[in-house]
């Protein structure tokens, strides 16, 4: 599986875990409780990790989820985690084109919602931004002008964002953009988090997951 990307690997894994759980639940009523589901999926992940059944791109994720399940039990919500991954990565699988246009549409929506949007200044050192309490998003001018070609995103773009993370991720997802997890430590703007989007939505790690939809 060395030739597949993270998006493909995580979707294969999530679907396999849900299928294994469903198959086992057909023969064991104990697997129909949150505690039973958590125990089964934790054991399944341990086996997958030991046997290297899935892409090595997922090794850190599996290690983290197993640790969570062992300490939190049913509260780790492994089934819900896999359901969210399956839904989101299935939806985004064919959302690889026109991401430059998607980004511009997202920025226009944010600006119309009174966000402070800055894309025409270089960001190369630590800065402080006074946004008067408004949500804000900054992209360095070099990246905004050179990493979009027509409608397409041709290189990763970094955002510096001050806003509730889940709300921002929801808006990005609505515009067919997968976000990296937010990171305060790497941010060059005080009180902002760093986020990244990637060409063809191929993130190298797990995106910020959305709540399950009814559809």
Helices (H) and strands (E) in the chain, counts: 7, 6
Give me the pLDDT at residue 175, please: 97
Q: In terms of pLDDT, which residue wins out, 132 or 74?
A: 74
Structural domains counted in the chain = 2
Which pLDDT band, with edges at 50, 70 and 90, does 47 fall under?
Answer: very high
Helix axes 6-25, 78-92, angle to 10 degrees: 130
- CA 20/CA 44 separation, integer angstroms: 8
DSSP 8-state code for residue 130: -
Last residue of a domain, one of 92, 113, 146: 92
Domain that holds residue 109: 99-201
Domain shared by 85 and 29, yes or no:
yes
Last residue of a domain, one of 76, 92, 108: 92
What's the whole-model pTM score?
0.91
Answer yes or no: is 37 within a domain.
yes
Phi, psi of 124 (to 5 degrees): -125, -5
**Digit-coded pLDDT (tens) for 84-133:** 999 999 999 999 999 999 999 999 999 999 999 999 989 888 878 777 77
Which pLDDT band, with edges at 50, 70 and 90, does 154 fall under?
Answer: very high
């Amino acid at each position: 599986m060395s030739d597949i990307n993270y998006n493909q690997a995580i979707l294969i894994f999530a679907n396999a875990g849900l299928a294994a759980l469903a198959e086992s639940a057909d023969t064991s009523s104990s697997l129909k409780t949150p505690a039973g589901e958590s125990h089964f999926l934790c054991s399944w992940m341990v086996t997958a990790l030991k046997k290297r059944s899935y892409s090595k791109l997922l090794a850190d994720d599996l290690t983290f989820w197993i640790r969570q399940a062992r300490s939190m039990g049913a509260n780790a919500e492994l089934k819900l985690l896999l359901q969210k991954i399956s839904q989101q990565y299935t939806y985004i699988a064919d959302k690889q084109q026109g991401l430059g246009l998607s980004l511009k549409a997202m920025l226009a929506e944010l600006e119309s919602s009174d966000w402070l949007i800055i894309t025409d200044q270089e960001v190369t050192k630590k800065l402080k931004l006074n946004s008067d309490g408004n949500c804000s998003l900054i992209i360095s001018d070099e990246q905004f002008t050179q990493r979009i070609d027509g409608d397409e995103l041709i290189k990763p773009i970094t955002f510096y964002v001050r806003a509730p993370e889940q709300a921002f991720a929801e808006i990005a997802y609505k515009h067919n953009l997968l976000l990296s997890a937010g990171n305060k430590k790497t941010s060059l703007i005080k009180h902002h988090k760093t986020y990244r989007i990637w060409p063809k939505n191929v993130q190298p790690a797990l995106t910020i997951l959305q709540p399950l939809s009814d559809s």
